[in-house]
Structures are given as structure tokens and as C-alpha cells.
């Protein structure tokens, strides 16, 4: 019984619906479906990816993919619809964002870059990019409109749980978070290269600035690890210390 419940839970598709409503009356809706077991993005039927999505177009310097086996960058393919939709939109345009999951609905009046960064974060991590993949557990427990501090907490908590599982499997855990700093350094390289890719196609700044916000979060996590600056988080653990 217990196993059956667990199986059905992991087999199910995880769905996110993002709705953007703009002041001029227009609206956009995106459906993101993830395979429950793998957390891979289930790609919808679409025309062939644009040229700018080719792997060798501003390829990330740390990309481990071989151009002979992968014609397209998985992140670019995943983001091509969103990029096309918002290519004529500025980052600061106000929007009402509604995010519908099976468990709850989130909503916020914000600017497009912040609304988009929440969605782009999911798409980048679940695209199949081997570098971004390490952040997949965070997507499973996605927190839309998270603050810098909330993101830091979630990232570190995720990583420490990974160390717990590593330890259970007999491997040496990394309680010093060294490897997490490396992961985020790699993620920042991807963010930077992806922004270069976007800036070389005819788009306004909404997509780029959404990635920039994600990069600011990544920089905050790297900073906290490298400087051992987690006082604000440590303070809430007084009951344990």
C-alpha cells in the first residue's frame, strides 16, 4: 500500500500554469508539465527550434554537451516559446501573475521580469541541461516569487538533504557546502552565457533581466557559502543550537 502510494505520487505529471495579465488587457498563458519521476520537462509539440537555439550559438564555456550529438541547447529549446512571446516586451512592464499548481494558487502584481524569472527558473532546470540539473529538487518544491533569503534557504536545505542521501549510500557527505559553491559557479556561467545568447537575437530586455534576477539569487548563495555568511539563517535555528 505504502509503495503503491509512493509510485503514483512519483509517476504523476507535475503541472504549473503561468498566467500573465497586462495593463493593456492582453494576457499570456503557459503550461509547464514535468515528468514526476525524472522532473524532466515534457516538451509540447512545436515547430523546429529557432537558429539561436543551436548549441554552438554562444555555447556556454562549461557546456559538457557534444555538438555532434546535440544540435540544440536544451535550455534555449525550452525557453524559445517564452522568448518569442516576450521578445517585444520590456522587463519593467507591470503584470498580474497567477501561478496555478495542483495544490495551490499563487498570485502577485509585479513587473514582468520578476514574473518571468520564476517561470524561466523552472524551464532552465528541467530542460535537460546537465549543469542545471543539480537544482532539480528545488523545482519539485518550487516557490514562486521567492526572496533572496528564501531561495538561499531552499538551496542550502536541498543540498544538505542530498548529502544526507549521499551519506546513506555510503559516500562522503560535503557538510562544508564546497560542492554547492561549485554548482552555483557553474550555474552563473550558464546564466551569463545564456544572456549573451539572448542579447544577440532581436529581443527587448524582459527575458534577459529575468535570467539576471536568477543570477542575483545564485550570486547571493555563492556569497553566503564563500563568506560563511549565514547568520540570518543560523539565528532561526536557536532551538537546535
Chain residues that interact with another protein, rule: CB under 8 A? 90-92, 111, 113-114, 148, 188, 191-192, 195-196, 199, 203-205, 208-209, 211-213, 215-217, 219-220, 223
Of 41 and 177, nearer to another protein (C-beta) is 177
Tell the smallest beta-carbon distance from residue 60 to another protein (Å). Answer: 13
Please name the helix (run of DSSP H) or strand (run of DSSP E) that holds residue 116, with its range, or none: helix 112-126
Tell the smallest beta-carbon distance from residue 152 to another protein (Å). Answer: 12
Of 113 and 163, nearer to another protein (C-beta) is 113
Tell the smallest beta-carbon distance from residue 36 to another protein (Å). Answer: 31
Interior angle at CA 212, CA 47 and CA 112, nearest 5: 65
Q: What is the DSSP string of 152-192?
A: HHHHHHHHHHHHHHHHHTTPPP-TT-HHHHHHHHHHHHHHH
By DSSP bridging, strand 14-22 and strand 94-100 are antiparallel
Q: What is the DSSP string of 125-144?
A: HHTT-TTGGGGHHHHHT--T
DSSP category for residue 54:
B
Tell the smallest beta-carbon distance from residue 222 to another protein (Å). Answer: 9
Of 114 and 154, nearer to another protein (C-beta) is 114
Of 39 and 193, nearer to another protein (C-beta) is 193
Amino acid at each position: 500500500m505504502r509503495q503503491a502510494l509512493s509510485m503514483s505520487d512519483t509517476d504523476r505529471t507535475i503541472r504549473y500554469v503561468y498566467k500573465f495579465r497586462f495593463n493593456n488587457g492582453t494576457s499570456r498563458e503557459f503550461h509547464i508539465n514535468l515528468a514526476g519521476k525524472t522532473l524532466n520537462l515534457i516538451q509540447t509539440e512545436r515547430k523546429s527550434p529557432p537558429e539561436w537555439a543551436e548549441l554552438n550559438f554562444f555555447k556556454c564555456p562549461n557546456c559538457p554537451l557534444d555538438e555532434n550529438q546535440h544540435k540544440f541547447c536544451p535550455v534555449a529549446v525550452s525557453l524559445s516559446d517564452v522568448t518569442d512571446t516576450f521578445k517585444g516586451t520590456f522587463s519593467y512592464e507591470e503584470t498580474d501573475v497567477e501561478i496555478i499548481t495542483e495544490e495551490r494558487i499563487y498570485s502577485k502584481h509585479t513587473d514582468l521580469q520578476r514574473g518571468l524569472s520564476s517561470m524561466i527558473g523552472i524551464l532552465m532546470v528541467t530542460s535537460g541541461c546537465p549543469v542545471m540539473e543539480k537544482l532539480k529538487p528545488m523545482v519539485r518544491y518550487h516557490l514562486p516569487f521567492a526572496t533572496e533569503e528564501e531561495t538561499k534557504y531552499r538551496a542550502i536545505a536541498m543540498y544538505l538533504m542530498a548529502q544526507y542521501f549521499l551519506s546513506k549510500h555510503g559516500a562522503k557527505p560535503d557538510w562544508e557546502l564546497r560542492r554547492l559553491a561549485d554548482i552555483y559557479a557553474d550555474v552563473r556561467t550558464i546564466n551569463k552565457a545564456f544572456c549573451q545568447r539572448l542579447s544577440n537575437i532581436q529581443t527587448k530586455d524582459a527575458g534577459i533581466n529575468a535570467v539576471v534576477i536568477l543570477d542575483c539569487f545564485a550570486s547571493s548563495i555563492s556569497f553566503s557559502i564563500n563568506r560563511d555568511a549565514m547568520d540570518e539563517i543560523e539565528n532561526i535555528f536557536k532551538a537546535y543550537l
